[in-house]
Amino acid sequence: MAASFGVLYNGKRQVVKLTPMQPLITIVEHISKISNQQLDPSTCKIFHNKKELDPSTPLRFANIPSGATLELRTGQERVLGIQEQRPAAPPEQPLLPQTQQPSASPSAAPASTATEASCQVVTALPAAQTSSSGAAAVTQAPAPADPLSLGRQIHVFSRAAAAEAEAMRGTEEEPPEEFFEFTPDDYHWVVAGHARERARAESGLRTQKLREDEMRRRAAALGPVPIRVHFPDDIILQASFGALEQLSVLRDLIQKCLLPSVNSGKWQLYTTPPKQVIKDFSASFYTASLVPAANVHFSVPEGSMEGPFLRPEVMAQQGPPPEERGLAHKRQPQRSQAQDVRDAAAAASVAAAGASSSGTGRSGGSDAKKMPKWMKLGGK
């Protein structure tokens, strides 16, 4: 049964009807047809009682009473307000009239020339001061922390220091008890996720360009990707890369940090578990599943060398691990309540299906025992 709602758009109230399982984004389509305007659903926002609603949530789970008044905003109202409140241009300063005295004495010419020269000097001073202050600002700008000219900032520390920092961070970042409670917001988030997955499945096949655009959008949302390179001598080298950068930049950075004797020999990079040797360095960190963070191991043929592997000037940068890393939490994310609910629902459905099938088998066996004698073949 469809429910009616009043939608405020551009100062006018329009009546829209939705079925219980239609997402709220359908309101944008109805308003587009009524107003004969092509609205972009990605830029539109729906509000109820000054509270923004999730457009992908079905009406049944949006907790909106029938007959309620919603508000549709396209984002253009704010732009128009800025344009209307544009400050007026400052009034132009009137130019001083230049009076020329035809009967000027020769002695007045040097005085006027001196006055013009002094004016020129006075007007030139602010420009010189501005240029000097700009140069000072340029010289005072902080330079990136790259003393070795490697092209990016690196962190060098030991495995023991990393383990100690992770242990301290784990005790400090223990979530409260309220974090594990399943709230109505979590329920709406789960329902919205199912709605998005269903809409994505119903959208059909997508072109390669659409898949690439979605990959770029997801990669851009990740931000810098911290990568830790573990060496056999318990030294860790960390640097951040872009999600769409090729793995060759990681290889080049390691080559710049290795000793010449190590760099000239055979070595390889791999991830674990399971152990997978990195061979295609033309792939990106995103396609190689090394996001949002990863541990990469450096290995050499057994018995060839024991270390050290990094140059002395690189080892001189050794210090504590960076505090803003959070790699362990990214690599091993905690299971959320929503994931537990989905797994419990899936397990319950599987158990129910198994119980129904086993019940059918038992009922079939009982029916076979109660089979009448005239249905048995051969009179047996």
- Burial of 299 (C-beta count, 10 Å sphere; 0-12/13-18/19+): middle
| Integer Cα distance of 310 and 257 in angstroms | 6
- % pLDDT > 90, the chain: 23
Residue 186 pLDDT > 80, yes or no? yes
Say what the pLDDT of residue 339 is. Answer: 53
pLDDT level of residue 293 (50, 70, 90 thresholds): very high
Lowest mean pLDDT among 56-65, 81-90, 168-177, 243-252: 81-90
| Integer Cα distance of 16 and 66 in angstroms | 11
Q: Structure pTM?
A: 0.46
Say what the pLDDT of residue 378 is. Answer: 59
Residue 351 pLDDT > 60, yes or no? no
Task: Report the DSSP pairing between strands 51-53 and 154-158.
Answer: unpaired
**For range 120-132, the mean pLDDT:** 39
Lowest mean pLDDT among 46-50, 182-186, 358-362: 358-362
pLDDT level of residue 61 (50, 70, 90 thresholds): confident
- Determine the CATH number of domain 3-78: 3.10.20.90
Residue 315 pLDDT > 80, yes or no? yes
What digits encode the pLDDT tens for the residues 5-45? 888 888 788 888 888 888 888 888 888 888 888 888 888 88
Domains of the chain, residue spans: 3-78, 154-174+223-331
Say what the pLDDT of residue 331 is. Answer: 40
CATH 3.10.20.90 fits 154-174+223-331, yes or no: yes
Residue 190 pLDDT > 50, yes or no? yes
Mean pLDDT, all residues of the chain: 73
pLDDT level of residue 328 (50, 70, 90 thresholds): very low
3-78 with 154-174+223-331: one CATH topology?
A: yes
Say what the pLDDT of residue 269 is. Answer: 96
pLDDT level of residue 58 (50, 70, 90 thresholds): confident
Residue 380 pLDDT > 60, yes or no? no
